[in-house]
Amino acid sequence: MKRGLLSFIALCCFFFFFCPSNFILVQCDESETTATHVRLGSEKITHLHFFLHDILSGKKPTAVLVAKPNTTDQGPTPFGSLFVIDDILTEGPEPTNVIGNAQGMYVSSGQDLPSLVLGVDFGFTSGEYKGSSFTVFSRNPITNQERELAIVGGRDKFRMARGFAHLKTYYLNLTNGDAIIEYNVTLLHY
């Protein structure tokens, strides 16, 4: 039993240190002492540029408040509030030429300075990436004119994606919270 375990560890160490390439995954299976090699191809890098429209006002808002703490905190996004969004993504800053939508939620997470944490799936409905999406889970310090979000995954053409998005506020109405945000996205994916 003990010897079996030791040889298993030795085998794992062997594969770890003597892999012919750094791009090989080794799966050790204790019961069969077999190793499965999967060669990983080179990753693609994709840049995307679009505008996101986060509209809280009007008859058909794209961001709705679903929960809010019982505090006197005023403003469009009081600390502790939770919003669900289905924001359109467009080629330019005008709400025409829709290329996709961002669905998910954000919470207002800043005690002192207004800040959000986003859990949002950015999906595309036209063009080369139709049906594909990438996922953001990140802090978004909205009082900074420029900021960066972390991209943690993706679907379809963006499988295994990771990357970052560089954001600039293009338009913001401080009274009702409506905003148009410019996104420059860099993705590494298969």
What residues numbered 63-102 form the site for ligand NAG, per CB under 6 A?
A: 70
CB of 55 to ligand NAG, least distance (A): 11
Separation CA 181–CA 190 (nearest Å): 27
Exposed / middle / buried, residue 29 (Cβ in 10 Å: 0-12, 13-18, 19+):
exposed
Residue whose CB is less far from ligand NAG, 21 or 72: 72
Report the C-alpha gap between 162 and 187 in whole angstroms.
6
Residue 80: CB minimum distance to ligand NAG, A: 13
For ligand NAG, which is the closer residue by CB, 8 or 164? 164
- The CA distances from residue 9 to 6, 33, 34, 37, 48, in Å, are 5, 11, 13, 18, 44
144 binds ligand NAG per the rule CB under 6 A? no
**Residues that bind ligand NAG in the complex, under the rule CB under 6 A:** 49, 57, 70, 166-168, 173, 175-176, 182, 184
